[in-house]
Amino acid sequence: MNFETWWLLALPLVFGLGWMAARLDLRQAISEQGALPRSYFKGLNFLLNEQPDKAIDAFIEVARLDPETTELHFALGALFRRRGETERAIRVHQNLATRPDLPDTEREHALYELGQDYLRAGLLDRAEDALRALMSGPYAASAKRVLLELYEVEKEWRKAIDAARELQSATQQDYSVQIAQFCCELAQDALQRKQADEAIGWLEQALRENPKNVRAPILLGDVAMASGDLGAALGHWLGIERQDASYLPLVADRVVKAYRDLGEQGKALEWLRGLLKTGLAPELLDTAYRTELELAGPAAAAALMREQLRRQPSLQALTRYFDARAALAAPAPATADVAEGNGAPAADAANATADATPADATAQEDAAIRDLLQLRTRNLARYTCRECGFRARLFYWQCPGCNRWESYAPRRTEALG
């Protein structure tokens, strides 16, 4: 009986305490809301409705009423930078970084944001100075990433290598792909200065950093070709098949030229015909057609394209097939009499125009189909970035859209639309 009486007394007390706590929380929330200016909530509403211009105006009003709101200043600076108003963003973050009462963590945050503002504005020296002040602390890794981006923009490849290695040590992430590409960039710079030995050193370092790097053996083959060592050049280029055969189309023209310079045209034709039987056909088709046409004639080129159409139909192969038919139907070279302008052959040629044969009509139809195909396929095949989808007619080691390295597949897409 005493136990039940105790419970009857305790339950109302518990409910009363809970009611009082709820009232206190409600009062605190109301007081905190009342302490914030209405412009703050208007700014949030504008942001949610994707109206950044109006949001900025509202937040500027809040900052004017309460200059101590550091988080709001950071938000304002980020909004300014996103809109491209880098001068206003720099001014906001400079004011924060120079405030004497700002905690160290927030001061480092302001310097980090300031470095990004400078980078966006193209003030690269100032950006580097701001970011270099953050090589330790909570923003060190983020600052090093922005520094790496800055060095890539400046094409300071040696500094980029050092920054990538620092990031690799700090974050335990693999930057071997980027470092190898930076070495290849330095090698290309050396080749432009006619420093072949220096270029070879950078390319060998690129392969040590990333043995799968394909750009290095391509450039090593170029160096060997320039020095007249055709065998070594072919060794580098043909060796790409062991690394990644999908990159072979990038060196197909080089391989054909090397074989021709060696007087081994048959090997060039055999190599291309064999590769056409693989999945590399779309990228090799133009090189194979041109080589076959030049070395074996239009009949062989037409037969090769007809076989390719049976094996792997594509608009590109169909276009080349009609190109070969047009080459077959081309008139024979003029005789000496016609070239000298003698009357009888010239009259015969004029009469031949009036009396068109079925073969002439077929040739005209083929030409019309070929022109239509060329018009349709001129801008069809594209290399596509795997990261951002940027499409380009040329192959890039670094995507112009998202600046990622080796994000382009060496396979072109033949997508309509």
Report whether 232 contacts 244 (CB < 8 A). no
Q: What does the buried/exposed string (b/e) look like for 223-247 if buried means 16 or more CB atoms within 10 Å of the residue's CB?
A: bbbeeeebebbbebbbebeebeebb
Of 77, 81, 140, residue with least CA distance to 105: 140
CA dihedral 58, 63, 66, 68 (to 10 degrees): 140
Q: Is 402 marked as binding a ligand?
A: yes
| Cα 60 to the center of its chain, rounded Å | 38
| Cα 308 to the center of its chain, rounded Å | 31
Q: Is 388 marked as binding a ligand?
A: yes
What are the DSSP calls for 200-240, one per residue? HHHHHHHHHH-TT-SHHHHHHHHHHHHTT-HHHHHHHHHTH
- Can you tell me the distance from the alpha carbon of 269 to that of 258, in angstroms, rounded to the nearest whole number? 12
- Can you tell me the distance from the alpha carbon of 387 to that of 73, in angstroms, rounded to the nearest whole number? 33
CA dihedral 45, 49, 50, 53 (to 10 degrees): -50
Half-sphere exposure of 13 (CA within 13 A, CB side): 5
Q: Which two tokens stand for residue 374?
A: 């060329």
Beta bridge partners of 385: 408
- Can you tell me the distance from the alpha carbon of 92 to that of 116, in angstroms, rounded to the nearest whole number? 13
In three-state secondary structure terms, 269 is helix
- Can you tell me the distance from the alpha carbon of 411 to that of 278, in angstroms, rounded to the nearest whole number? 13
Which residue matches tokens 């090589």? 135
Report whether 296 contacts 284 (CB < 8 A). no
Angle at 123 between CA 121 and CA 128, to 5 degrees: 120
What are the DSSP calls for 121-186, one per residue? HT-HHHHHHHHHTTSSSTTHHHHHHHHHHHHHHHT-HHHHHHHHHHHHHHH----HHHHHHHHHHH
Q: Which parts are annotated binding residues for Fe cation?
A: 385, 388, 399, 402
Binding-site residue ranges: 385, 388, 399, 402
